[in-house]
């Protein structure tokens, strides 16, 4: 699950990443002999999506609910082109949102909680237009957010814990307005063990949170679920939600986290739950939170990882959890975290993946169950 930078890159249930060069086949190098240059990416439990410099989206992984916008229902083990003229993509739980260059929002896949905002709960097997005048969107576990051109925030879908932030726990099958003056939003990702929580960053750099709070993931010092957003920090530039934990960047490049820490995902050297935001690192420029792991891209291009590593999602060559941040790659300019896998983008637009590949989400081909180290994806 990934969030982007202060100008609304990142995050999700899926997160985006910007890029631009090197030349070997390991995660420490680069090299993309193809003409395809990947600029942004988004990841979920069973899927990965890649946006190239020409606005084409490629996807791999599960297609059980036609979330990849292709007719075949089986897993796709290599990146497949699925749609074009796109500016941004967000991966939800068996549904996907596409923001086109003209500001129109399109969605496909599961809709049983109204997460597509179509006014009903019918699954969509091909992408349909959902809204116009959109500048950002986020797809979580059975719920979605959009930000309109006027900076207003709207939400639709599952709302059991108040994660939509509209003051109740009623599911919504159409987008309802939540608040104004919003810069970006992050949702807890697909397949999460938690019910769902949301982080909202406004244009005044104030961070707000709502939804499930059983593990202090909202960072307000309580374990009380919040149906309306509560302010928890200021001076914030970037946000990302994991499963029952939250991480964010401040303007000075410091990384902060709160919530569940049983696998060491907060990287503070312990497995103790953190009740209010705690500083974890410095000199960070991009972050991504998965089911139980955290990725941090430092200003020198190195990637540091901590937390759950049962599928090798940290990319350090092993599968033991890390309680403190460890460097796992160099020469990286973008990253995103799926539930149990991770994606890195190099300066030349090449992409590397590590972790679980049960549905083909690593894009490395069929017959590969996973990878404990970052391997290059061929397009």
Q: Which tokens sit at 254?
A: 């410091």
Task: Tell me what the mean pLDDT of segment 17-41 comes to.
Answer: 55
Residue 312 has pLDDT above 70, yes or no: yes
Percent of the chain with pLDDT over 90: 88
Residue 151 has pLDDT above 50, yes or no: yes
Task: Tell me what the mean pLDDT of segment 243-264 comes to.
Answer: 98
Answer yes or no: are the C-beta atoms of 129 and 150 closer than 8 Å. Answer: no
Q: How far is the CA of 355 from the CAs of 9, 36, 291, in angstroms?
A: 23, 23, 12
Answer yes or no: are the C-beta atoms of 36 and 379 closer than 8 Å. Answer: yes
CA atoms within 13 A on the CB side of 270: 10
Q: What is the pTM of this model?
A: 0.91
Residues 6+ apart with CB under 8 A from 320: 309
Task: Tell me what the mean pLDDT of segment 22-36 comes to.
Answer: 49
Answer yes or no: are the C-beta atoms of 371 and 357 closer than 8 Å. Answer: yes
Where is average pLDDT lowest: 24-38, 333-347, 363-377? 24-38
Task: Tell me what the mean pLDDT of segment 316-340 comes to.
Answer: 98
pLDDT of residue 72: 84
pLDDT of residue 190: 59
- The model's pLDDT over 331-364, given as tens digits with 9 standing for 90+, comes to 999 999 999 999 999 999 999 999 999 999 999 9
Nearest to 39 by CA among 19, 57, 65: 19
CA gap 1, 104 in Å, rounded = 23
CA gap 139, 10 in Å, rounded = 11
pLDDT of residue 35: 79
Where is average pLDDT lowest: 11-25, 130-144, 299-313, 327-341? 11-25
Q: How far is the CA of 126 from the CAs of 42, 102, 116, 266, in angstroms?
A: 19, 19, 12, 38
pLDDT of residue 26: 46
Residue 5 has pLDDT above 80, yes or no: no
> Hey, where are the domains in the chain?
2-376
Confidence grade of residue 189 (pLDDT, cut at 50, 70, 90): confident
Residue 375 has pLDDT above 70, yes or no: yes
Answer yes or no: are the C-beta atoms of 86 and 55 closer than 8 Å. Answer: yes
- The beta strand positions in 92-206, using DSSP E, are 95-100, 105-109, 124-131, 134-139, 143-148, 153-157, 172-179, 182-187, 197-202
Mean per-residue pLDDT over the chain, rounded:
92
Longest CA pairwise span in the chain (Å) = 52
Query: Which fold, 2-376?
Result: Methylamine Dehydrogenase; Chain H (2.130.10)
pLDDT of residue 73: 82
Where is average pLDDT lowest: 69-78, 239-248, 320-329, 354-363? 69-78
pLDDT of residue 30: 43
CA gap 317, 321 in Å, rounded = 12
Where is average pLDDT lowest: 21-35, 61-75, 85-99, 326-340? 21-35
- Distinct helix (H) and strand (E) counts, the chain: 0, 29
Q: Which residue has the higher pLDDT, 32 or 228?
A: 228
Residue 90 has pLDDT above 60, yes or no: yes
DSSP 210: E
Q: How far is the CA of 223 from the CAs of 95, 226, 250, in angstroms?
A: 30, 9, 24
CA atoms within 13 A on the CB side of 222: 10
Answer yes or no: are the C-beta atoms of 82 and 57 closer than 8 Å. Answer: yes
Cα of first residue to Cα of last residue in the chain, in angstroms, is 22
Percent of the chain with pLDDT over 70: 89
294 DSSP β-pair partners: 289, 306
Answer yes or no: are the C-beta atoms of 142 and 178 closer than 8 Å. Answer: no
Q: How far is the CA of 245 from the CAs of 265, 267, 300, 330, in angstroms?
A: 8, 12, 26, 26
Q: How far is the CA of 100 from the CAs of 40, 48, 51, 309, 350, in angstroms?
A: 14, 18, 11, 35, 23
Confidence grade of residue 268 (pLDDT, cut at 50, 70, 90): very high
Residues 6+ apart with CB under 8 A from 35: none
Answer yes or no: are the C-beta atoms of 188 and 211 closer than 8 Å. Answer: yes
């Amino acid at each position: 699950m990934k969030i982007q930078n202060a100008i609304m890159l990142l995050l999700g249930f899926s997160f985006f990443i910007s890029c631009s060069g090197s030349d070997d086949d390991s995660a420490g190098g680069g090299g993309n002999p193809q003409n395809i240059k990947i600029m942004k990416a988004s990841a979920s439990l069973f899927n990965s999506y890649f946006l190239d410099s020409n606005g084409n989206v490629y996807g791999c992984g599960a297609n059980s609910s036609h979330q990849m916008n292709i007719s075949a229902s089986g897993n796709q083990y290599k990146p497949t082109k699925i749609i074009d003229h796109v500016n941004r993509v967000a991966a939800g739980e068996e549904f996907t949102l596409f923001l086109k260059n003209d500001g129109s929002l399109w969605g496909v896949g599961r809709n049983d909680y109204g997460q597509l905002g179509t006014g009903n709960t019918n699954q969509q097997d091909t992408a349909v237009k959902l809204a116009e005048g959109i500048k950002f969107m986020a797809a979580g576990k059975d719920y979605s957010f959009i930000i309109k051109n006027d900076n207003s925030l709207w939400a639709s879908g599952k709302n059991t814990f108040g994660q939509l932030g509209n003051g109740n726990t009623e599911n919504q099958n159409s987008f309802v307005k939540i608040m104004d003056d919003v810069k970006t939003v992050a949702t807890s990702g697909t397949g999460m063990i938690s019910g769902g929580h949301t982080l909202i960053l406004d244009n005044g750099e104030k961070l707000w949170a709502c939804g499930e709070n059983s593990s202090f993931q909202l960072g307000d010092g309580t374990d009380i679920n919040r149906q309306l957003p509560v302010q928890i920090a200021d001076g914030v530039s970037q946000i990302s939600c994991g499963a029952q934990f939250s991480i964010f960047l401040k303007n000075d490049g410091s990384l902060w986290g709160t919530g569940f820490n049983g696998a060491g995902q907060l990287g503070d050297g312990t497995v103790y739950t953190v009740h209010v935001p705690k500083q974890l690192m410095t000199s960070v420029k991009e972050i991504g939170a998965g089911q139980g792991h955290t990725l941090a891209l430092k200003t020198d291009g190195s990637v540091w990882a901590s937390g759950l590593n049962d599928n090798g999602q940290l990319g350090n060559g092993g599968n033991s959890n890390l309680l403190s941040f460890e460097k796992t790659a160099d020469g990286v300019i973008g990253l995103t975290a799926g539930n149990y896998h991770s994606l890195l983008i190099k300066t030349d637009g090449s992409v590397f993946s590590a972790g679980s590949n049960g549905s083909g989400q690593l894009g490395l081909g069929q017959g590969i169950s996973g990878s404990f180290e970052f391997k290059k994806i061929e397009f």
